[in-house]
């Protein structure tokens, strides 16, 4: 029987992920929840509390050191093996972190990430990649769009910048399916430009191929116009996995 202190939330349950969840699964779950509960969309008090819990859960589970300590507490607590004095220390630690994230600094950090993210998108569009990664180190959100409606990844694809394209995907897997102002993903752009090297990079990193742009076209619609056999084959394979909802972890050619 679990002996979990009820004052400490189960942060895996908060995000709706398993205790073995990968960082990408945690990021995706966090993004879904934070959009759902964001105060700008849901001003109700209960939703505000859920938003704060979601942020706290993400801050703990995405950080390797914090996650290890939290998992130690979780396992010991479930097994009834946490001494009373140790339990109070754990409770103080996690509630302290949660409360700190509930203060005004949370909103300030979020808005700072948004502002820096917009600067990052502008820098990427201008090809100033050293500035991009400097902003990234300052916690800029990489999912923001420039004034012209492009994300950093869209700009990397347009510039045929293979290195930064791959680096962006590795640093934030969620950006690969981001849409620009016309609803196009980076894969749409790569296939339009017939840049099959970048298209293959995206496809090998499990990008979705059935996302529609503002005109109702998916990346799969480009299949018949693709000149490179390997890209056409990979696109077909990813498409089949996607529509059958099968894992795409083995799609490296």
Per-residue three-class SS string for the chain = CCCCCCCCCCHHHHHCCCCCCCHHHHHHHHHHHHHHHCCCCCCCHHHHHHHHHHHHHHHHHCCHHHHHHHHHHHHHHHCCCCCHHHHHHHHHHHHHHHHHHHCHHHHHHHHHHHHHHHHHHHHHHCCCHHHHHHHHHCCCCCCCCCCCCCCHHHHHHHCCCHHHHHHHHHHCHHHHHCCCCCCCCHHHHHHHCCCHHHHHHHHHCCCCCCCCCCCCCCHHHHHHHCCCHHHHHHHHHHHHHHHCCCCCCCCCC
| Interval 8-24: pLDDT, tens | 678 899 899 999 888 88
The residue with tokens 């949370």 is: 106
| Helices 196-204, 229-243: inter-axial angle, 10-degree rounding | 30
For residue 6, pLDDT over 60 is answered with no
What is the C-alpha separation between 149 and 128, in angstroms, rounded?
A: 17
**pLDDT tier at 27 (50, 70, 90 boundaries)?**
confident
Provide mean pLDDT across the span 189-217. Answer: 92
Q: What is the pLDDT of residue 1?
A: 33
What is the C-alpha separation between 30 and 41, in angstroms, rounded?
A: 16
For residue 47, pLDDT over 80 is answered with no
Are 13-102 and 146-243 in the same CATH fold?
A: no
What dotted CATH number matches 146-243?
Answer: 1.25.40.20
**Range ranked top by mean pLDDT from 56-70, 183-197, 200-214:** 183-197
What is the C-alpha separation between 84 and 75, in angstroms, rounded?
A: 15
For residue 249, pLDDT over 50 is answered with no
Q: What is the pLDDT of residue 5?
A: 47
Provide mean pLDDT across the span 197-221. Answer: 91
**pLDDT tier at 134 (50, 70, 90 boundaries)?**
very high
Residue pair 141/114 in contact (Cβ under 8 Å)? The answer is yes
For residue 7, pLDDT over 50 is answered with yes
Q: What is the pLDDT of residue 231?
A: 93
For residue 212, pLDDT over 80 is answered with yes
Q: Which residue has the higher pLDDT, 47 or 173?
A: 173
Provide mean pLDDT across the span 175-181. Answer: 87
The first and second tokens of residue 14, run together, are 């908060």
13-102 has which fold? Helix Hairpins (1.10.287)
Q: What is the pLDDT of residue 208?
A: 87
Angle CA(184)–CA(204)–CA(206) in degrees, nearest 5? 60
Question: By C-alpha distance, which of 202, 170, 165, 172 is closest to 187?
Answer: 202
| Helices 196-204, 162-171: inter-axial angle, 10-degree rounding | 20
Q: Which residue has the higher pLDDT, 141 or 7?
A: 141
This prediction's pTM:
0.59
Question: By C-alpha distance, which of 213, 209, 246, 250 is closest to 231?
Answer: 209
For residue 141, pLDDT over 60 is answered with yes
The residue extents of the domains of the chain are 13-102, 146-243
């Amino acid at each position: 029987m679990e002996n979990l202190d009820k004052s400490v939330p189960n942060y895996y349950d908060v995000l709706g992920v398993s205790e073995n969840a990968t960082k990408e699964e945690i990021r995706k779950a966090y993004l879904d929840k934070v959009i759902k509960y964001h105060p700008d969309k849901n001003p109700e008090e209960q939703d505000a509390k859920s938003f704060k819990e979601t942020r706290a859960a993400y801050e703990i589970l995405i950080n390797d050191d914090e996650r290890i300590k939290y998992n130690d507490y979780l396992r010991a607590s479930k097994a009834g093996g946490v001494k009373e004095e140790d339990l109070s220390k754990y409770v103080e630690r996690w509630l302290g972190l949660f409360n700190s994230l509930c203060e005004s600094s949370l909103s300030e950090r979020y808005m700072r990430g948004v502002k820096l993210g917009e600067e990052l998108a502008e820098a990427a569009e201008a090809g100033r990649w050293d500035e991009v990664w400097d902003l990234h180190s300052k916690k800029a959100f990489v999912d923001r769009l420039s004034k012209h409606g492009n994300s950093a990844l869209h700009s990397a694809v347009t510039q045929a910048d293979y290195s930064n394209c791959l680096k962006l995907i590795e640093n934030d897997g969620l950006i690969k399916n981001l849409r620009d102002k016309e609803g196009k993903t980076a894969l749409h752009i790569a296939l339009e430009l017939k840049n099959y090297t970048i298209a293959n990079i995206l496809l090998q990193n499990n990008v979705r191929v059935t996302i529609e742009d503002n005109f109702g076209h998916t990346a799969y619609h480009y299949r018949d116009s693709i000149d490179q056999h390997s890209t056409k084959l990979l696109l077909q394979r990813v498409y089949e996995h996607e529509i059958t909802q099968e894992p795409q972890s083995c799609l490296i050619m």
